[in-house]
Every structure is written in C-alpha cells, then in structure tokens.
Amino acid sequence: MEKIRRLSVKLSRKKTTHPGAQPGSFSIPSDALTPKALCFIYDKDSFQEIDVTQFDQLKTAYQNLGEKTLWLHVAGFGDKTFYENLTALFQLHRLELEDVFNVYQRPKVDEYEGHLFL
C-alpha cells in the first residue's frame, strides 16, 4: 500500500520547466494564483508587519531596514514580474528563483552569504 501511495504522489508532481530549458529559467502555469506577500520586520525591541500590495512598499521597507531582520512570506506565483523584481532587490540567484517554481521538490534550506533561502 505504501509503495502505491509514493508512486501516486511522485506521478502527480510536475516540473514547470521544459526539457532542454536553460538553468535558472521558469514558466508560470496559467492557473497560478497572484502573489500575496507579508513582510515582517523585527529586532529585539520592535516588530512590524506589512501587507505588501505594491512592490514599492517592500523596496522601501528593505532600503530602510538598518540592523533589523526582514522575513518575507510570499504565497502564489502568478506574476513573473513580481518575482523578477524580488530577484533584483534581494540579489537572488536565478537558480533560487527556479526552485520557487519547481514545487515538486522537497522542502529545503539553502544558506547563502547574507540570507537564508527556504
């Protein structure tokens, strides 16, 4: 029974890039949800939560961060421009962005200089 369950889970996962695609490329399914982002900015003395409705809000918060920590939670990936702006703002590697869209992978944590990618 367990083998059948594993097989059905494995078969239901789909990779969003096409065979032969350049590493770091991605495609967005047509039925993907529009991204909704929550930004949490905190340090030992304060906490702020921002419901990001426009990318400029996030950019301003990031530029005024100082010594505080920023945690960004994004759900949905239906806007390629939003994610390309995130890549530029946080100086993320294209392969990290590709991992976001390839949801068939197991959850993982990558440690980079200056940030964690979950």
Residue 5 lies in a domain: no
Where are the extended beta strands (E) located within the chain?
Answer: 36-42, 47-52, 69-75, 110-112, 115-117
**Model pTM score:** 0.68
**Among 92, 29, 82, 32, residue whose Cα is nearest residue 52:** 82
pLDDT of residue 93: 81
Q: Phi/psi of residue 88, each to 5°?
A: -70, -45
Per run of 10 residues, the mean pLDDT along the chain (length 118 residues) is 52 52 65 88 94 90 92 87 88 80 78 83
Residue 12 lies in a domain: no
pLDDT of residue 84: 86
CATH number assigned to the domain comprising residue 108: 3.30.460.20
CB contact set of 53 (below 8 Å; sequence gap of 6+): none
pLDDT of residue 17: 56
Number of domains present in the structure of the chain: 1
Residue-range definition of the domain harbouring residue 87: 23-117
Q: How far apart are CA 107 and CA 94, in angstroms?
A: 18
